[in-house]
Amino acid sequence: MRNGWIWIGLSAALLIAGCGDEKTSSGSVTNAAAPAPAPVQPTPAVPAAGPFADASLVVSGPIIVEHEVELTAQRDGLVQKIYFDAPARVKAGTLLAELDGRQIQANLDAAKAKTRSIEADLKNWQAEAEVLKSDYARQQRLWDLGLTTQEQLEHAKYKAESDQWDIKRVSELLNNAKLDEEALELELEKTKIKAPFDGLIARRYAREGQNVAKGERLFWVTAEAPLLVRFTLPEKLFGKMRAGQPVEITSTDAPGEKHTAKVKQVSPVVDPSSGTFEVLVELVGERGAMRPGMTASVHLENPH
């Protein structure tokens, strides 16, 4: 019996110890603080993708000049003489070629002779008018003295007045003759093909002895400077280009050369159909191997 109580006591002690351990374990889980979250690291910035992600932008455009023209015949005619050929350099007003203008010259000489004849006729009428004016004044004095009739006075008056109308008629004839003379001089001037500005004859189309029609090409004349490059930029760069801004110019047709240009003109509007605007730059300094008609590359630093 004594041993039985001992076993009962041991069992009770073990039971109490087990309950205590379970309470302690349960309490530790309930009251434990939540673990601190790991610090958030900043996400590195990703460079924006697209055509303007680089620090520079390269666009291309043709090298042009402001003065460039194809000279055409201003009238029908025969090419009588060609004085210069490509690639001659000429000054403004230089006579490049001449059409046959002999008939026009003959007509002009006749018109000048007619003008001189009418001028002489007008002087004769003016001299006669002075005589008639003097006669009328004399008749007035005689009338005042009672030494002439009213009919004679009126006759002198009408003759003096009618002579003035003749002077006006001949004066109009003289004006018309001078206009005809000026028209012929203009036609004669059209037979002379002249350089409109200092430049280079890039091409000759006509030849001596050729009959040309009005509007037919004769020469292509181009200036050599200043050299310009025209190109377009997307509208997102509108407002970034300004007059005087420097850019760098290169060309595959002139390897190894780098030239400086400055912005000369920026279009004030954006083309809605293409979403672009035009920029015109002008080369400064020596042109090197750069020539009109070449394709140039324009290097824009930090365009965005």
pLDDT above 50 (res 284) = yes
Q: How far is CA 47 from CA 50, 201, 237, 260, in A?
A: 9, 52, 19, 30
The string of pLDDT tens digits covering residues 59-71 is: 999 999 999 999 9
Strand partners of residue 299 = 58, 248
pLDDT of res. 8: 40
**pLDDT of 159-172, one tens digit each?**
877 888 888 999 99
Of residues 177 and 46, more confidence is placed in 177
DSSP 30-67: HHPPPPPPPPPPPPPPPPPPSTT-SSEEEEEEEEEES-
- Measured in degrees and rounded to the nearest 5, phi and psi for residue 202 equal -80, -30
225 CB-contact burial (10 Å; exposed 0-12 / middle 13-18 / buried 19+): middle
Class of domain 56-68+226-301: mainly beta
Compute the average pLDDT of residues 235-243: 90
Tokens of 105: 């010259």
Q: Is the pLDDT of residue 153 over 70?
A: yes
Cα separation, 148 vs 283, whole angstroms: 90
Q: What percent of the chain has pLDDT over 70?
A: 81
**Cα separations in angstroms, 260 against 226, 248, 257:** 13, 5, 10
Delimit the domains of the chain by residue range.
Answer: 56-68+226-301, 101-189
